[in-house]
Structure 1
């Protein structure tokens, strides 16, 4: 494998523990309706599936009903006004970013999270000037698992896909990386569903502890 010239991260469940904010938002919506809070262990499994899946699971509704649509709008509005209430980088990831920057290896984010949320999160974390590229669904025609967003990120970072590496906590992240011809790392500390088996995703590496990540990247 060529020397790594860029490192790309998925956002939710890989770089950032956003579930903490999603718990807050959904619990407020439930409390407003005199309903008990979510079971966090169960709810966490749906975070990487997106906002609609989270709302559907929390309110025990099908994904495509008018009621779900209304709750989804409320969820997204409330989330936008309460970004980074509790969310934070996963332990050890700030040090990893500093390590990459010290080695002059640019890093970026390729996410299915809308830009209006992603960019504001980076600003609040003061990462917006450090992040070399941010690719969101608005920037491409096809979101992950299609490789288009990863190809665009590599174009912006002036490297070939095989010279970058992509980290993600969902099968679609690894599928996108494989389709792009990019080495991949499956991040098993993320928002895995109980039926997920990262070992079967065909990633180049499966990492279960963020503390192992720096050592691995140092070897690449």
Structure 2
């Protein structure tokens, strides 16, 4: 059996609108003019700390920790307001399942945010595995979360493809021995150089994941693609 594993933010789901809105509320609480969505979207995959630094440049350590805590508090109350699957992802998941493959999520997002979000989106019970940033002793770019996902899904790493939109995703997937795809439609900021990450390929949209990720797995393991 083979499996397709996804990063969450910027790969499986478009969560940027809710994360941006969280930053808007936080900046307004602190008396600042909120940043526009376009200035925030491609920084979402870097985590809550990076979002706070973006919204509050030069913030000192004491205030930084307090603002991160408040950011997470606001976000936890608004996990699934505007977040949704990327266009074509729902059909891709259906096609993966119809082909006899499983799929799962491996994210650095903590479980207390990951699980309720996926449940609200109706995805949690469909996934063969959900690995969050606090599930294992290591986080991406370490391969341990991906290897643990394989154990839970009952597949070998070489029978998996991992799709992500950050360098740590590709590093983790390569170290785990998986085929790796860069979600070029995700949150990649201009300072990043994804062509140097060493991925097996790029996908411009979720439907391309089938041809560049799922189909090679099916052919490798002697199954007939849809």
TM-score, with structure 2 as normaliser? 0.91
Q: How many residues align?
A: 216
Matched, 1:88 2:77: no
Q: Match for residue 17 of structure 1?
A: 14
For 2:47, which of 46, 50, 53 is the aligned residue?
50
Residue 41 of structure 1, CA deviation: 2.1
Q: Structure 1 residue 218: deviation in Å? A: 4.8
Aligned-CA RMSD value? 1.4
Match of 1:153 in 2: 149
Counterparts of 1:175-194 in structure 2 under 5 Å?
175-194=171-190
Q: Which aligned runs of 4 or more in structure 1 are off by greater than 3 angstroms?
A: none
State the shift of 1:208 in Å: 1.9
Question: CA separation in 1, counterparts of 2:13 and 2:61?
Answer: 30
Are the aligned partners of 1:8 and 1:166 in contact in 2 as well (CA < 8 Å)?
yes
User: Alignment partner for residue 79 of structure 1, among 75, 79, 83?
Assistant: 75
Tell me the distance in 2 between the aligned counterparts of 1:211 and 1:5: 18
Q: How big is each residue's C-alpha offset from its partner over 1:36-87, in whole Å with a ceiling of 9 and x where there is no partner?
A: 221322222321111011011111134x611111111110001001111111
C-alpha distance in structure 2 between counterparts of 1:35 and 1:203, whole Å: 39
C-alpha distance in structure 2 between counterparts of 1:35 and 1:211, whole Å: 40
Q: How does 1:1-220 map to 2 (within 5 A)?
A: 5-62=2-59, 65-220=61-216
Alpha-carbon offset, residue 201 of structure 1? 1.0
Residue matched to 2:223: none
3-state secondary structure, aligned to 1:189: coil
Q: What are the Cα deviations for residues 106-157 of structure 1, in whole angstroms up to 9, with x where unaligned?
A: 1000010000110001110111110110011222111000000011011111
